[in-house]
Amino acid sequence: MYDNLRLIDDMFTIDSPLGPIATPIGGLGKARRLHDLLFDPQTTLSQRNDDLRPWVIVGRRGAGKTAFLYHRCFSGIYEHKVEIESAQVFRTIGLTIETVLDQSNEDYAPFVENVSKLWKAIFMTSAMSQVCKTYRYDPAINRNPYLLAVQDYLERIGIEGQVAPRGIMGQLLTKAQEVNANATFESGDDLEDILINQIGVGEAIGAFEAFCETERQRVIILIDSVEQFPIDDFRMDAAAAGLLHLISQLRLAYSPVHICYCIPSELYHHYTATISANPEKDFESKLMLQWSASELLKMSALRLDKYLSSLRHPRMRRDNGLPDNPDREDVFHFWRRLMPKQVVNNLGKQEDSFAYILRHTQLLPRHIIGIFNQIIRHSLLRDEEQFQITEDDIVKGVRSAANSICAGVISSYRQVHPSGGQLCESMLPHMTNAFTMSEFRLFYRNYGRGIVADYYEALQMFKELGIFGIVVNETKVYYEGEFEYTQPGSMAISEDDTFCIHPAFAGQFRVGRDNNGWTSKKEVYPHGTDLDEGIAA
């Protein structure tokens, strides 16, 4: 309990009363404490994660991929956990591919099966090293004949307690070159044959899996997403294809060694269309992280409740906080005690506070935490007798967070759409928040031409970033928009569609500013921001 209070004190501050917007780093030990403190196992996504036990987790930046990766790790079914530094291992595999490429053929790419075996050699060797280190002084286990065979292999290739991919691959390549200095992915005496058959990786893997089976041991290997995956590098594509192939092979073989790999939704289409050799099989066991509005409010309430509970200042202490395992009514009651039911929006009209906050997000934990941090920060800066959130706090907080939200979305798609920021700055101030396809062509011709190839590429970019949605309903006061981030896949568009602009981007880029101030006198409500709605999972 004391450690938890210290952790809360470190993470939750007046500037960040709901804590950081991203999962803090610090190794598995600290990750376990953070998981136990912050992760809500009662959400729909958490329960799906427990039921599915996914090998691949797909989500946008800020959706909580790392948190779910750790939840998979701390599920209670694994005796051994190996965390692999994703950028390092991809670089290691990529450099290995380049080292053994046929340099005379620029179009040559190694077979996915061969790259898969490179991944397997690194991962299994890393897991073997960690397991042998764990049982080094355990006489009840360390004399197991399978484990002895594994130890012999590790000693033979010169690995003791080494789990870093670069060190392991370096030792394996050194041994391979001792056998054949010209080892390649070509047929004959290729690298695969040397690694698996001649220096004993394959035999050691068999012994390791047999050890896990006889001792009832399970191992999980964790690989978080690469922050800036280079989609124009075929070596990285080949590396990712090999990893997906290995994941499906281990899963279908019911291996005691499991892998959990995070993929950004921003690159999911690239993975399915370009990287994966068999998308249907590679992504059969995946969890798509898409949040509902009510669960985002619950997550935020749980975090704020922890912060307020830890404070001794009478102005900040709350009475009648959240109960254990709060339901929807508990969460709404918690927030209603702290903030007004309505605010005045940009059009001067009364609007539900929850709707106003949620429609300025893309239903991501990072966005809702960022907005509430700003709202509550404004509240805390006032030296009042009792802590309370005002209408002004909500409006200012949403505006303060908009810059970070928009910049984060644009940045997360930079590898796929490098011109996103420039297009937003050039086009959005001249647009209206609802428009037809023909009107968009005119906007593009006047303000976006030359930035990307054509109007359709610009429209696709805005759609994929969740900046443009399709109007699915219109009333006297608002447009309801369907945005791609609530869909399980790509959202189809047609010539007859009417489009709308996401409120966060409309406000940040001042839609209508350079259009004689004209924009539609209706607000945009992204589908999913209604607390009674759910989204596809």
What's the predicted TM-score (pTM) here? 0.92
pLDDT at 314 over 60: no
pLDDT at residue 493, rounded to an integer: 95
pLDDT at residue 400, rounded to an integer: 94
**pLDDT bucket at 105, cuts 50 / 70 / 90:** low
> Average pLDDT of 129-158?
92
pLDDT at 1 over 50: no
Pairing of the two strands 498-501 and 434-436: antiparallel
**pLDDT bucket at 280, cuts 50 / 70 / 90:** very high
Q: Which of 150-154, 192-196, 334-338, 469-473 has the lowest mean pLDDT?
A: 192-196
**pLDDT bucket at 497, cuts 50 / 70 / 90:** very high
End-to-end CA distance of the chain: give it in Å, rounded: 35
Contact 201, 207 (CB under 8 A): no
| pLDDT digits 0-9 by tens, 432-463 | 999 999 999 999 999 999 999 999 999 999 99
Contact 7, 366 (CB under 8 A): no
Contact 508, 498 (CB under 8 A): no
Contact 240, 271 (CB under 8 A): yes
pLDDT at residue 412, rounded to an integer: 96
| pLDDT digits 0-9 by tens, 185-215 | 443 345 556 666 667 888 999 999 999 999 9
**pLDDT bucket at 320, cuts 50 / 70 / 90:** low
Which of 370, 362, 397, 373 has its CA nearest to residue 481? 362
Q: What order of strands is seen across the sheet that includes strand 468-474?
A: 434-436, 498-501, 468-474, 478-482, 523-526
As given in the structure block, the two tokens for residue 358 are: 């949620």
pLDDT at residue 188, rounded to an integer: 37
pLDDT at residue 25, rounded to an integer: 66
pLDDT at residue 512, rounded to an integer: 80
**pLDDT bucket at 95, cuts 50 / 70 / 90:** confident
pLDDT at 531 over 80: no
pLDDT at 219 over 60: yes
**pLDDT bucket at 15, cuts 50 / 70 / 90:** confident
**pLDDT bucket at 393, cuts 50 / 70 / 90:** very high
> Average pLDDT of 256-267?
96
> pLDDT > 70: what percent of the chain?
87
pLDDT at residue 517, rounded to an integer: 55
pLDDT at residue 10, rounded to an integer: 77
pLDDT at 82 over 80: yes
pLDDT at 537 over 70: no
- Separation of CA 53 from chain center: 16
Integer CA distances (angstroms), 345 to 97, 151, 373, 387, 399, in order: 56, 67, 20, 23, 11
As given in the structure block, the two tokens for residue 145 are: 């004949």
pLDDT at residue 457, rounded to an integer: 96
> Average pLDDT of 42-52?
92
> Average pLDDT of 30-36?
85
**pLDDT bucket at 154, cuts 50 / 70 / 90:** very high
| pLDDT digits 0-9 by tens, 394-404 | 999 999 999 99
Residue 300, C-beta contacts closer than 8 angstroms, at least 6 positions apart: 18, 368, 369, 372
Q: Which of 55-59, 146-150, 309-313, 334-338 has the lowest mean pLDDT?
A: 309-313
**pLDDT bucket at 183, cuts 50 / 70 / 90:** low
**Can you give the residue ranges of every domain in the chain?**
39-288, 293-411, 415-526
Contact 261, 55 (CB under 8 A): yes
Q: What is the mean pLDDT of the chain?
A: 87
